[in-house]
């Protein structure tokens, strides 16, 4: 890595720190800090590279040289970052670079939080840390985030501040669009009628509660998924072929065992198929799903 210029992560953090230090303390404030890292290109100061060696990085347990079937997006930009089939040593280097970028990001987020601490307003500030869709970096033979596997659709969401219990975790279902109404309720702000998300304040008060019974995922016109409880069904409509994957995320969090053909799981498969259809109808998604491949949704 060459040491020249300043990384965008540092530039964005410096701008945020400057705002925190020089803003008017008489008014409430809102900061939306959207770092680019750890998105590619994976460039970072050399000092972070020394902490991660490709020789010492392990491949994920769900690493595959290539995806087992055409998911409709095997040749998009992220997937072109490495050759096919995926060379294990090259994937290890990608992962090492990914870790280095995350370490740099962690340092810069810490700088921002330290700056807030110095103002004495940390305890009066709601902080939300959330992530974009995650990169596969070798998992399931993929490199990017153009899939509906959990490594790409399950992202970080951490909240801290007044009205939010410390050290509390929950497995409740939510979307990132639920952040806005949650912040509205925490700040005693009216939630606009146009907002489709749901406030997570009831979950903050009781981590065993829930505001959603299921989740629905969509990627372009050929990948759809539904999740109920510990099970998730992914459906693909690619070049006239319909492919299904059913996973027990509790027993198989890395999504390596497809249960679609299991007689024992037939009832949950039907239930999830029905949930997919219900969500498609509710969201007016039937016109898009599989239309280019089947002529109409199935």
Q: In terms of residue numbers, what domain contains 141? A: 1-170
On whether residue 44 sits in a domain, the answer given is yes
Taking CA atoms, 87 is separated from 13, 62, 90, 150, 238, in Å, by 35, 14, 5, 23, 26
Identify the domain boundary among 140, 170, 200. 170
Question: Does residue 2 carry a pLDDT above 80?
Answer: no
Instruction: Please indicate, yes or no, whether residues 161 and 220 belong to a single structural domain of this protein.
Output: no
Q: Are 87 and 238 in contact (CB under 8 A)?
A: no
Instruction: Please indicate, yes or no, whether residues 24 and 112 belong to a single structural domain of this protein.
Output: yes
On whether residue 149 sits in a domain, the answer given is yes
Does a cis peptide bond (omega within 30 degrees of 0) precede residue 84? no
On whether residue 222 sits in a domain, the answer given is yes
Backbone torsions φ then ψ of 245, nearest 5 degrees: -130, 125
Instruction: Please indicate, yes or no, whether residues 25 and 89 belong to a single structural domain of this protein.
Output: yes
Q: What is the pLDDT of residue 24?
A: 84
290 — pLDDT class (breaks 50, 70, 90): low
pLDDT tens figures, 200-258? 999 999 999 999 999 999 999 999 999 999 999 999 999 889 999 999 999 999 999 99
Instruction: Please indicate, yes or no, whether residues 225 and 155 belong to a single structural domain of this protein.
Output: no
On whether residue 183 sits in a domain, the answer given is no
Taking CA atoms, 277 is separated from 24, 158, 224, 266, 274, in Å, by 51, 31, 10, 17, 5
CATH number for the domain harbouring residue 28: 3.40.720.10
Instruction: Please indicate, yes or no, whether residues 115 and 235 belong to a single structural domain of this protein.
Output: no
On whether residue 137 sits in a domain, the answer given is yes
Q: Are 98 and 135 in contact (CB under 8 A)?
A: yes
The span from the CA of 3 to the CA of 168, in Å, is 40
On whether residue 237 sits in a domain, the answer given is yes
pLDDT tens figures, 37-82? 988 888 888 888 888 999 999 999 999 999 999 999 999 889 999 9
CATH number for the domain harbouring residue 223: 3.30.1120.10
pLDDT tens figures, 98-125? 999 999 999 999 999 999 999 999 999 9
Q: Are 199 and 191 in contact (CB under 8 A)?
A: yes
- Mean pLDDT for the stretch of residues 160-169: 93
Structural domains counted in the chain: 2
Q: What is the pTM of this model?
A: 0.91
Least-confidence region, from 25-29, 192-196, 265-269: 25-29
On whether residue 160 sits in a domain, the answer given is yes
Question: Does residue 3 carry a pLDDT above 60?
Answer: no
288 — pLDDT class (breaks 50, 70, 90): low
On whether residue 136 sits in a domain, the answer given is yes
């Amino acid at each position: 890595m060459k040491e020249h210029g300043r990384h965008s992560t540092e530039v964005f953090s410096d701008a945020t720190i400057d705002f925190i230090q020089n803003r008017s303390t008489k008014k409430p404030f809102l900061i939306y800090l959207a770092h680019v890292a750890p998105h590619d290109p994976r460039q970072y100061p050399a000092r972070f590279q020394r902490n991660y060696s490709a020789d010492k990085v392990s491949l994920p347990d769900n690493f595959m040289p290539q995806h087992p079937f055409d998911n409709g997006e095997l040749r998009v930009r992220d997937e072109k970052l490495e050759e096919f089939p995926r060379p294990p040593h090259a994937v290890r280097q990608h992962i090492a670079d990914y870790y280095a970028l995350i370490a740099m990001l962690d340092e810069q987020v810490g700088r921002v939080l330290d700056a807030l601490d110095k103002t004495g307003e940390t305890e009066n500030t709601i902080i939300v840390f959330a992530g974009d869709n995650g990169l596969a970096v070798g998992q399931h033979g993929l490199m990017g985030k153009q899939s509906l596997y959990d490594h790409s659709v399950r992202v970080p969401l951490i909240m801290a501040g007044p009205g939010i219990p410390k050290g509390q975790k929950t497995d409740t279902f939510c979307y990132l669009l639920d952040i806005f109404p949650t912040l509205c309720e925490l700040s005693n702000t009216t939630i606009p009628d146009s907002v489709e998300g749901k406030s997570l304040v009831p979950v903050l008060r009781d981590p065993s509660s829930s505001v959603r019974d299921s989740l629905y995922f969509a990627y372009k016109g050929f990948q759809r998924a539904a999740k109920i409880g510990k099970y998730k069904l992914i459906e693909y409509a690619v070049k006239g072929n319909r492919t299904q994957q059913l996973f027990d995320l509790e027993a198989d969090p890395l999504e390596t065992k497809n249960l679609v053909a299991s007689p024992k799981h037939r009832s949950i498969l039907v239930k999830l198929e029905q949930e997919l259809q219900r969500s498609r109808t509710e969201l007016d998604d039937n016109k898009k799903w599989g239309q280019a491949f089947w002529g109409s949704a199935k």
